[in-house]
Amino acid sequence: VDITNDSIKERTEKLRKIVFDKFIEDFPKGNPINSDWLIKIINEFHERPEGEDDPKYFVTPYFKQYIEEIKANINLATGKPLAPRTITRFAYTLKHINQLEEHLSKKYRIIEIDLKFCNDFVQYHKEANKYEDSVISKSLKQIKQVIKTARTKQIKVNAEIDSDKFTFKKSETIDTYLNEEEINIIYNYDLSDNQSLDKVRDLLITGVW
């Protein structure tokens, strides 16, 4: 960290300007100008959170805030409020983040949502919770979506959130099929006593071929 006299002077001057500009903004509005007001500005300047519930710095409170905000959103495709299951899915994703935090005994900052987080998230939920690939993939997709919205609120995010590697590809679906011998077994099975099943069997044989 550069702590030369010039850098200290530069940062002090920058802070002085921010305090002055904030005073010009708040004083005419009748907002209280006191020690709490000043400490808040200084903390924001030095990127110091007010606590682990500060949505400007920590993932969990920001996620909660996001979920509350989308409850009032309208689905542009239907013109109706978002489906409850959509909101519930975001709540599940938040739960998955909290599970990892509890496992690691840490609270993730928004700036820490990077490729290492992505890797840790996948590894933990695959090995510890045995979640299906599709569940992990959906959660990572929503995490990426939510964290990107923080930019619109002038919150710093890690550039790696934009990486194509910040994802988890689901395992390829295994094609299930019958071989020729198995098809012939079904074809030759005697269903003469059940015309309905006999017709269904004909349709099945046509389909699998």
Mapping DSSP to helix (H, G, I), strand (E, B) and coil, where does residue 58 land? strand
Distance separating the N- and C-terminal Cα atoms of the chain:
70
pLDDT at res. 174: 47
CA dist 205 and 140 (Å) reads 41
Type of residue at 156? K
Q: Which of 42-51, 77-86, 136-145, 194-203 has the highest mean pLDDT?
A: 136-145
Dihedrals phi, psi of 172, to nearest 5 degrees: -65, 140
pLDDT at res. 32: 87
pLDDT at res. 107: 94
Is residue 59 exposed (0-12), middle (13-18) or buried (19+ Cβ within 10 Å)?
buried
pLDDT tens digits, 148-205:
999 999 899 999 999 999 998 765 454 567 777 888 888 888 888 888 888 888 888 8
192, 197, 201, 202 alpha-carbon torsion, rounded to 10°:
70
Mapping DSSP to helix (H, G, I), strand (E, B) and coil, where does residue 82 land? coil
CA angle, 87 as apex, 144 and 156 as ends, to 5°? 30
**How many CA atoms are closer than 13 Å to the CA of 56, on its beta-carbon side?**
13
Average pLDDT over every residue of 73-86? 82
Work out the number of other CB atoms within 10 angstroms of the CB of residue 157: 17
pLDDT at res. 37: 84
